Amino acid sequence: MEYKVLSLTHKQTQMTVHPVIIFNDLELILCDTGYPNQLLQIEEELNKNNFSIKDITKIVITHHDHDHIGSLKSIKDKNNDLKIISSEIEAEYIIGAKPSLRLMQIQEKIKTLTGKEKEFGLMFSNYLKTIENYPVDKFVKNGEYITDDLKVIFTHGHSPGHISLLLENHNLLIAGDALIIENDKFINQEELVFDTKNFLESIKIIKEINNVDKIICYHGGAVETDINNKLNELFISLISIIILINC
């Protein structure tokens, strides 16, 4: 399998995310689908690599946050033959059987806010309510292979059923939001994770994967240098947070 990293920029916030396509002569797998209304950008990115929406055979969703499932329905509407894949835990949120955890989080946060911060919180809450849900065709388990060399790695914490993908023939980890790179460091995501202990466990799992030469972070892009040291720094900072929480 080969791969390409896509770049999608949200017009309002100017935030860029990095879905990944994994492909061979038989398959084109898209990992995550960007924000809502990014179908045109996705098409343009695919066209740069001589593909189209119609070539997609599978979409893997790492987790149910709005910037990962935002354009899922619009892609599926244009290619009804593709299959949607996620963990069983995340599927409950993707299909709408359970409410978005991010939406519930911001609704609780709004109760503590005033002024412009509260105004922004309400606006963001209303935005999250517009995210379209969609059925999932297949649930994957930890360690399962989607193709011969594309392995599912459970990396929960950021969300309960978050998955990453290990493309073994390239020693490449597609991390989703299990890792976010900023200013050449993995950040601890204090306000973004739903379970700090599970997040710490996920970092430990990633640290123990052999021969990872490159990590693609959905936010921040590629990490190719000093990976182990960067993971160790993040791990130590998380341990410190957990110790403070338990004191």
pLDDT tens column, 116-161: 999 999 999 999 999 999 999 999 999 999 999 999 999 998 999 9
Instruction: List pLDDT tens digits, range 70-118.
Output: 999 999 999 999 999 999 999 999 999 999 999 999 999 999 999 999 9
For residue 203, pLDDT over 80 is answered with yes
For residue 23, pLDDT over 80 is answered with yes
User: pLDDT at position 193, please?
Assistant: 85
Mean pLDDT rounded to a whole number for the chain: 94
What pTM does this model have?
0.94
- Kindly report, as residue ranges, where domains of CATH 3.60.15.10 are found in the chain: 2-96+133-246
Are residues 34 and 57 in contact, defined by beta-carbon separation less than 8 angstroms? no
Q: What SS3 class is residue 8?
A: strand
Angle, CA of 176, 62 and 147, to the nearest 5°: 100
Overall average pLDDT of the 192-218 stretch? 92
% of the chain exceeding 70 in pLDDT = 97
For residue 247, pLDDT over 60 is answered with no
CA distance 115 to 93: 31
Output the CA–CA distances (angstroms, integers) from residue 211 to 70, 85, 181, 208, in the order listed.
Answer: 32, 26, 19, 9
Instruction: List pLDDT tens digits, range 219-240.
Output: 999 999 999 999 999 988 887 6
- Work out the pLDDT band at 194, boundaries 50, 70, 90: confident
For residue 245, pLDDT over 60 is answered with no
For residue 34, pLDDT over 90 is answered with yes
Domain 2-96+133-246 top-level CATH class: alpha beta
User: pLDDT at position 210, please?
Assistant: 85
Are residues 155 and 218 in contact, defined by beta-carbon separation less than 8 angstroms? no
Overall average pLDDT of the 176-190 stretch? 92
Q: Please, what sign has the CA dihedral across residues 93, 79, 45, 144? A: positive
For residue 209, pLDDT over 90 is answered with yes
Overall average pLDDT of the 50-59 stretch? 98
Overall average pLDDT of the 162-188 stretch? 96
